[in-house]
Amino acid sequence: MNQAIPPAAMNSLRSGPTERGRFGDYGGRFVAETLMPIVLAVEQAYAEAKHDPKFQQDLAWHLTHYVGRPSPLWFAERLTKRLGGAKIYFKRDELNHTGSHKANNCMGQILLARRMGKTRIIAETGAGQHGVATATMCALFGLPCTVYMGATDVARQAPNVFRMKLLGAEVVPVTSGAGTLKDAMNEAMRDWVANVNDTFYIIGTVAGPHPYPMMVRDFQSVIGEEAKVQMREAEGRLPDACVACIGGGSNAMGLFHPFLDDTAVRLIGVEAGGHGIDTGEHAASLTGGRPGVLHGNRTYLLQDDDGQIIEAHSISAGLDYPGIGPEHSWLHDIGRVEYVSATDNEALDAFQLCTRTEGIIPALEPAHALAYVTKLAPTMDADKIILMNLCGRGDKDVATVAAHMGVTL
């Protein structure tokens, strides 16, 4: 199949996807006919909203005054000294309202849902960050909200489950499969099929049928756009490397996209290595998977020889997904972004390091990115710069980490 960059993108890596929602061979609209009309309607509504200054002003206003943007850029000086190498900066998206980058996307999509006249919101969630962000926006705008969450994740992310309920959302535990993010997304799709007339599905990552991978990327690109300006202010130049963790890949896509054409900037995505890639128990779709179709898009997937999807494993509920956004698959194939992995244990070590060195308790998701930064920074000279997306705060993970440290709370 054709792996080439689409003609329109010859001069830029930022012009995708095609009209069919393709990034190279990846993406598309692989949904049941029942959903096709609504998927096309979302595409059209978003295309109009994207070019409507009123919509963009409304979004910017809410991001500033409700979400709390721009998020700061923080020079992690003690961590830099400790690791002894490149200067490390954190993009502090954990300081957003609701505690993660998910708010950027949820605000964008709920404004679109309102514009489309939809009166009910559904979402899937893994760690609960996207669920909390969705429930929050629904509370703000007074819309009923149902969040699908794998039963395993309901158990390991109890504080977020309670948070969603406080915000007025209905949380539906999903027991099929391993009871994680993949299963939650299946169930959300089933809900959408049955309630397509009044319901808007706020997908939390850069996956799903077109236009979601593009739309979520656009809403998250505020991360990279701000970071570019902030890096120039702080250092007078762009970083040498950007690092972000990847489950579905929305925080990474948001950081990377504005940098795609700055070819001197290395872009590094860190997948969840679970117990180790060689154990087969991981969530590293690009490192350990191959292309297939799931949840509306063609992308790299963890699957067996017969095309059945394999359950992912990660200590981080937010990365515990057997697929990845299609734009990442394309960026992987063309070599623009490097994709590596960090194991559960490496992430746990990085979690503690960040907490004690910088006084920031990171979520286990960006702890994976940090685990790679701890390896990368010492290999780089002191005048080099690493920008890492600290995409979520770790309050929700305190119990998980305690259990791994053998501490009873």
Examine residue 196 and tell whether it contacts another protein (CB under 8 A).
yes
How many beta carbons lie within 10 A of that of residue 129, not counting itself?
A: 29
- Smallest gap from Cβ 400 to another protein, in A, equals 26
Three-state DSSP class for residue 274: strand
Of 2, 11, 54, 197, which lies in the binding site for another protein, with binding defined by CB under 8 A? 197
CA distance 208 to 217: 12
Site string for another protein, 17-36 (x = CB under 8 A): ---x-------xxxxxxxxx
| Burial class of 278 by CB neighbour count within 10 A (0 to 12, 13 to 18, 19+) | exposed
Q: Specify the residue, 34 or 279, whose C-beta has the smaller distance to another protein.
A: 34
Between 78 and 190, CB nearer to another protein: 190
Q: Near another protein by CB under 8 A, which window of 57-65, 285-293, 340-348, 360-368?
A: 285-293
Q: Which is nearer to another protein, 12 or 34 (CB)?
A: 34
Closest CB to another protein among residues 321, 351: 321
CA distance 272 to 323: 12
- Nearest-angstrom CA–CA distance, 74 and 322: 32
Please tell me the total number of residues recorded for the chain in this structure: 409
Q: Which two tokens stand for residue 99?
A: 């505690």
Q: Contact 272/181 with Cβ under 8 angstroms? A: no
The distance of closest approach from Cβ of residue 293 to another protein in the complex, given in angstroms and rounded to an integer, is 5
Q: Is 186 in the site for another protein (CB under 8 A)?
A: yes
CB of 289 to another protein, least distance (A): 12
Residue 248, number of CB atoms within 10 A of its CB: 30
Minimum CB separation of residue 291 from another protein in Å reads 8
* Nearest-angstrom CA–CA distance, 368 and 273: 9
In DSSP terms, 338 is beta-bridged to 268
Q: Which two tokens stand for residue 394?
A: 């770790």
Q: In this structure, what token pair is assigned to residue 181?
A: 């993010």
E strands, 106-156, are 120-125, 145-150
Among 305, 381, 405, 409, binds another protein (CB under 8 A): 305
Contact region with another protein (CB under 8 A), list: 60-68, 218-226, 297-305, 400-408:
297-305
- Residue 376: which of 150, 133, 87 has the closest Cα? 87
Closest to another protein by CB, 20 or 51: 20
Does 2 engage in binding with another protein (CB under 8 A)? no
Q: Does 301 bind another protein (CB under 8 A)?
A: yes
Cβ 6 to another protein, closest distance in Å?
17
Residues touching another protein, count (CB under 8 A)? 36
Residues near another protein (CB under 8 A) are 20, 28-38, 176-177, 182, 186, 189-190, 193-197, 291-296, 301, 303, 305-309
